[in-house]
Amino acid sequence: MLTLAIKNQAGETIKGVIDHEKQPQLYEATGTELAVLAIKDYAYRPGDQIVVTTTEKNQYLIVQLDETLAPTLVYLAEKQWIFPIPLLATQHKANVETSFLSKRHHLFVRVADAFEIEHYQNLTFNPHDQKQASGAFPHATANVETRDEAVFFAKNAIDGKYGNHSHGSYPFTSWGINQQADAQLTVEFGREVLLDRVHLLLRGDFPHDSYWTEVTLAFSDGSQLTMPTTASLDFQAVTFPAKRTTKLTLRNLQKAPDASPFPALTQLEAFGWNLKQEGYDDGTGRN
């Protein structure tokens, strides 16, 4: 069972009309495998939040909480996901200017099908990620984000946006490290996954930007892999024997010896498979 609701800052489900022909009702939808909220005339207010509740833990869901966000496979380790609606002007610099600002809304959450969970895919992709942990995975964090500005948050590195020819506000958001030598970024998966390939897309707003000549990929078991990188504007890839891990960390970033002090990351992709829980066996040996 799934419940999708819009709540105010006090945690109360908001009540209103979904269109002019309907009586006021709670902005809440419940379904066995699909919950949809379609609303014609409600402008989000500061403090509003979208809350997804499930009856079971460890759920894979397909979600879309705003028309400007791509439908996304997310993993909920617990039974609730609280998504604070980003309405601040500083947050909007990192998004399409219309995101969450329309009075018309179409939100949905549904249980993911087996084929959506089990196929080989980019397991870091999550345009619904936010700076603070919200209960949905994957989730990106970093020990530094330039000036604590949304356009340089770690989450930008897993949002599926590839614009790396400039920097700053959308569509050129990135993970910025504020010239910090020990900068590192971690993507938490919320469960164990199996990875065998990583792609990096470095920001290349040259000559403003610099780049890294080498980075280290670290896994939850303590193992590490060194990856050489260049000033390429294309994705750079490394493959390795399939590795079980609950997180992936990018660290030991070696800056090139050039004049610019500003290397940055536009996108991090990690490819592999989800592993079913509790002894599930799909016949591939990946359980």
The predicted-structure confidence for 82-120, as pLDDT tens digits, reads as follows 999 999 988 989 999 999 999 999 999 999 999 999 999
- What 3 state SS string does the chain have? CEEEEEECCCCCECEECCCCCCCCEECEEEECCEEEEEECCCCCCCCCEEEEEECCCCEEEEEECCCCCCCEEEEECCCEEEEECCCCHHHHCCCCCCCCCCCCEEEEEEECCHHHHHCCEECCCCCCCCCCCCCEECEEEECCCHHHCHHHCHHHHHCCCCCCCCCCCCCCCCEECCCCCCCCEEEEEEEEEEEEEEEEEECCCCCCCCCEEEEEEEECCCCEEEEECCCCCCCEEEEEEEEEEEEEEEEEEEECCCCCCCCEEEEEEEEEEECCCCCCCCCCCCC
Confidence of residue 21 (pLDDT cuts 50, 70, 90): confident
Q: What is the pLDDT of residue 277?
A: 53
pLDDT computed for residue 142 by the predictor: 98
Tokens for 107? 């939100």
pLDDT on residue 19: 86
Rounded to whole angstroms, the Cα distance separating 88 from 159 reads 19
Average pLDDT over residues 152-178: 97
Q: Tokens 């309405």 map to which residue?
A: 87
> How many other C-beta atoms can be found within 10 angstroms of the C-beta atom of residue 223?
11
What tens digit of pLDDT does each residue of 203-250 get? 999 999 999 999 999 999 999 999 999 999 999 999 999 999 999 999
- The phi-psi region of residue 41 (left if phi > 0; otherwise alpha if psi is between -120 and 50; otherwise beta) is beta
Q: Are strands 59-64 and 72-76 parallel, antiparallel or unpaired?
A: antiparallel
Tell me which residue has tokens 């490290």.
177
Reported as a pLDDT band with limits 50, 70 and 90, residue 283 is very low
pLDDT at 17: 87
**High-pLDDT (> 70) share of the chain, %:** 96
- CB distance 264 to 167 below 8 Å: yes
Contact 267, 199 (CB under 8 A): yes
Phi, psi of 155 (to 5 degrees): -60, -25
Per-chain mean pLDDT for the chain: 94
d(CA 162, CA 23): 44
Q: Provide the phi-psi class of 285: left if phi over 0, else alpha when psi is between -120 and 50, else beta.
A: left
Q: Is the pLDDT of residue 284 over 90?
A: no
Residue 119 to residue 208: CA distance in whole angstroms: 39
> What predicted TM-score, i.e. pTM, was given to this entire model?
0.93
Report the percentage of the chain scoring pLDDT > 90: 91
